[in-house]
């Protein structure tokens, strides 16, 4: 308490008396100072609690003395200027303006008996604890009810999801079962590829209806249903097909069908169902087919039963399945008449035969009926270069690559001929023992050999402009995307690997980095002019450590195909068609490439077609597997 107010108390009348109110007020102030904390409970200044006790005593004291003539309110205002704002004077103003106390009691008695504010207990309204408890209980009950409802919804949703997942598994099982049945049915239906000419003609007239009749067993195999009593799962499948694309000419047709399998899965006790759909592509070939599109075919009497397991057919096309492996035919299907291909290479319009005078005219020799001298000839006319015609046996035929040029070298006795061409620049050169000819266009990609080829191998440039045979098994023989047909009337002996520069092997499988090549090697077994039967066939000779690799379509007439090489495994990237097959001690893996269709009518058709009408399921390819609405 401020010293000036203590002076006022001490000057009051009767201060010297021990029981006077002034003395009592001073003692109360001293006692409050000893008991007070540094801060009151309400955060007010300590002087405020003192003033609440002192000023009532001053007002009730008898004969309020004042050391001056100024009234107490003015003294309080003057004292307030020396004290912090809101301390003594505020309490004095309150006390001077308060109403009178009730009768029988004085303001002093009321204030002196009241405990100071910082000693008062906290008083709250009655019933507040009950309200708080009720509010907390209401909140807890709301939360509990929400948790129960949420848990029920979660359990119900989880159960529905579980049932839906089980139904999806059931639909997936249905598709897998139907797919296995379709694969097994395709292997059985198309195991015998021969068809009649009447059926082929009917398919040409109505390809969609006839095609659907042929694949009807596959549709029935893909439509099935099953119920598992143990697991409670069930499914039903339905297969459908429609014609999406058609290629047809006078020789054969290629029909592409959209083959779909839809499966509905269900669970016992669950009303819902899940539907899965498998979209596939089915390619069907019918007619006199290009033999390079049939992966493996042989006459039934030309292969031993123990050798059938040594010949395996694999497909390189991703997602596609092969209908069957090696096909056996009862009738002769490999043609021995090479005249259609010879007419393309010699630029002769559909000849019935090839007499000496006509052949001399096509080769640019002197007119006459004399026999064609042995040698290598480049067919030429006013429209540009044609194919290469070889009369007599070739000691060596080498294929190689030299700085982007495809090099083909012919060796006959002591004479050597060389053909170089670059497909990217459309330039070519033909070098004979007597002259060199350059062209600004490419020759026709066909080599016609009326004789035998004693050695067909890969070569490498030797620095003199020619190539020589190499023993390196990793040397590529031809450019990627090369189209070349080699037709020979006699026997062809392969003495090294033949593959393009775009072929790689990854995890034991061939992989084409760039454009697919189309090399056809055909041994017809009949002389081009006299049409006499010649000793023909294709033989694989030599020894390789890592297995032989032939990237070509081999068509072996005469005695067929034989593997006298010690390679353990022969990898053919293409196809193999032969009158007979003798793998020897080797295993033959045939990696069939996707079939190619003649796209341009201006390009010469240098393929070899079967003599009999065939029906071949090229592949069934999975395009998409997705849930169905």
**pLDDT number for residue 602:** 65
Most confident of 79-93, 357-371, 499-513: 357-371
Please, which pLDDT band fits residue 78 given cuts at 50, 70 and 90?
low
3-state SS record for 61-89:
CCCCCCCCCCCHHHHHHHHHHCCCCCCHH
Among candidates 627, 612, 623, which has minimal Cα distance to 299? 612
- CA dist., res. 214 & res. 252, Å (int): 16
**pLDDT number for residue 92:** 45
Percent with pLDDT over 70 in the chain? 76
Please, which pLDDT band fits residue 520 given cuts at 50, 70 and 90?
very high
**pLDDT number for residue 102:** 47
3-state SS record for 404-455:
CEEEEEEEECCEEEEEEEECCCCEEEEECCCCEEEECCCCCCEEEEECCEEE
**CA–CA distances in Å: residue 375 to residues 52, 95, 386, 433, 448:** 139, 143, 16, 10, 12
**440 vs 104, residue with greater confidence:** 440
**pLDDT number for residue 629:** 64
Average pLDDT over residues 112-129: 57
Condensed to tens digits (0 to 9), the pLDDT of residues 239-297 reads: 999 999 999 888 999 999 999 999 999 888 887 888 999 999 999 999 999 998 888 99
Condensed to tens digits (0 to 9), the pLDDT of residues 286-345 reads: 999 999 888 899 998 989 888 888 888 887 766 666 656 788 999 999 999 999 999 999
Average pLDDT over residues 414-437: 93
Average pLDDT over residues 202-211: 92
**pLDDT number for residue 414:** 92
Average pLDDT over residues 62-81: 49
Condensed to tens digits (0 to 9), the pLDDT of residues 394-411 reads: 999 999 999 889 999 999
Average pLDDT, the chain: 81
Domain extent listing, the chain: 3-119, 125-288+613-629, 329-547+554-569+578-611
**pLDDT number for residue 593:** 74
Average pLDDT over residues 522-541: 90
Condensed to tens digits (0 to 9), the pLDDT of residues 83-110 reads: 454 444 454 444 444 434 444 444 444 4
**pLDDT number for residue 242:** 94
Condensed to tens digits (0 to 9), the pLDDT of residues 349-359 reads: 888 899 999 99
pTM: 0.74
What does the buried/exposed string (b/e) look like for 454-491 if buried means 16 or more CB atoms within 10 Å of the residue's CB? bbbbbbbeeeeebbebbeebebbbbbbebbbbbbbbbb
**pLDDT number for residue 526:** 92
């Amino acid at each position: 308490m401020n010293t000036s107010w203590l002076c006022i108390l001490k000057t009051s009348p009767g201060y010297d008396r021990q029981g006077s109110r002034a003395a009592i007020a001073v003692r109360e102030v001293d006692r409050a100072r000893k008991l007070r904390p540094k801060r009151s409970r309400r955060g007010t200044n300590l002087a405020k609690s003192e003033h609440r006790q002192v000023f009532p005593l001053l007002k009730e004291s008898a004969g309020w003395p004042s050391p001056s003539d100024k009234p107490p309110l003015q003294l309080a205002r003057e004292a307030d200027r020396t004290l912090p704002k809101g301390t003594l004077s505020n309490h004095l103003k309150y006390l001077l303006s308060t109403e009178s106390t009730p009768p029988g009691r004085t303001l002093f008695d009321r204030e002196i008996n009241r405990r100071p504010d910082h000693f008062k207990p906290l008083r709250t309204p009655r019933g507040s604890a009950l309200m708080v408890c009720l509010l907390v209980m209401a909140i807890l009950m709301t939360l509990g009810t929400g948790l129960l409802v949420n848990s029920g919804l979660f359990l119900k949703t989880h159960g529905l999801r579980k049932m839906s997942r089980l139904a999806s598994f059931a639909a997936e099982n249905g598709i897998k079962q139907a797919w296995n049945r379709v694969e097994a049915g395709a292997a059985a239906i198309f195991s015998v590829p021969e068809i009649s000419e009447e059926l082929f003609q009917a398919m040409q007239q109505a390809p969609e209806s006839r095609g659907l009749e042929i694949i009807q067993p596959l549709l029935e195999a893909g439509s099935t249903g099953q119920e598992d009593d143990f697991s409670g799962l069930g499914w039903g499948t339905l297969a459908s097909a429609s014609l999406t694309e058609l290629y047809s000419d006078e020789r054969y047709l290629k029909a592409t069908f959209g083959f779909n399998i839809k499966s509905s899965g269900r669970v016992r006790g669950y009303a819902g169902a899940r539907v899965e759909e498998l979209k596939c592509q089915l390619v069907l070939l019918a007619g006199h087919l290009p033999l390079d599109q049939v992966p493996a075919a042989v006459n039934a009497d030309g292969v031993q039963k123990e050798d059938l397991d040594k010949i395996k057919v694999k497909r390189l096309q991703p997602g596609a399945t092969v209908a069957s492996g090696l096909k056996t035919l009862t009738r002769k299907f490999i043609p021995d008449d090479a005249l259609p291909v010879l007419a393309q290479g010699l630029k002769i319009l559909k000849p019935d035969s090839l007499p000496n005078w006509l052949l001399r005219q096509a080769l640019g020799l002197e007119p006459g009926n004399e026999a064609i001298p042995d040698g290598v000839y480049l067919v030429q006319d006013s429209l540009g270069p044609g194919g290469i015609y070889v009369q007599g046996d070739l000691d060596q035929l080498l294929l190689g690559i030299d700085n982007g040029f495809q090099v083909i070298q012919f060796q006959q006795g002591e004479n050597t001929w060389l053909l170089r061409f670059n497909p990217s620049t459309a330039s070519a050169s033909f070098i004979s023992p007597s002259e060199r000819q350059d062209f600004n266009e490419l020759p026709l990609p066909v080599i016609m050999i009326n004789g035998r080829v004693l050695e067909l191998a890969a070569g490498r440039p030797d620095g003199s402009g020619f190539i020589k045979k190499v023993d390196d098994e990793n040397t590529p023989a031809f450019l990627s995307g090369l189209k070349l047909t080699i037709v020979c009337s006699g026997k062809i002996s392969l003495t090294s690997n033949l593959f393009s520069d775009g072929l790689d092997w990854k995890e034991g499988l061939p992989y084409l980095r760039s454009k697919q090549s189309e090399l056809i090697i055909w041994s017809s077994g009949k002389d081009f002019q006299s049409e006499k039967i010649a000793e023909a066939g294709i033989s694989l000779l030599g020894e390789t450590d890592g297995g032989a690799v032939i990237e070509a379509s081999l068509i072996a007439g005469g005695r067929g195909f034989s593997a006298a090489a010690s390679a353990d495994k022969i990898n053919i990237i293409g196809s193999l068609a032969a009158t007979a097959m003798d793998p020897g001690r080797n295993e033959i893996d045939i990696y069939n490439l996707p079939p190619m269709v003649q796209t341009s009518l201006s390009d010469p058709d240098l393929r070899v077609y079967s003599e009999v009408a065939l029906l071949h399921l090229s592949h069934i390819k999975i395009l998409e597997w997705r849930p169905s609405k």
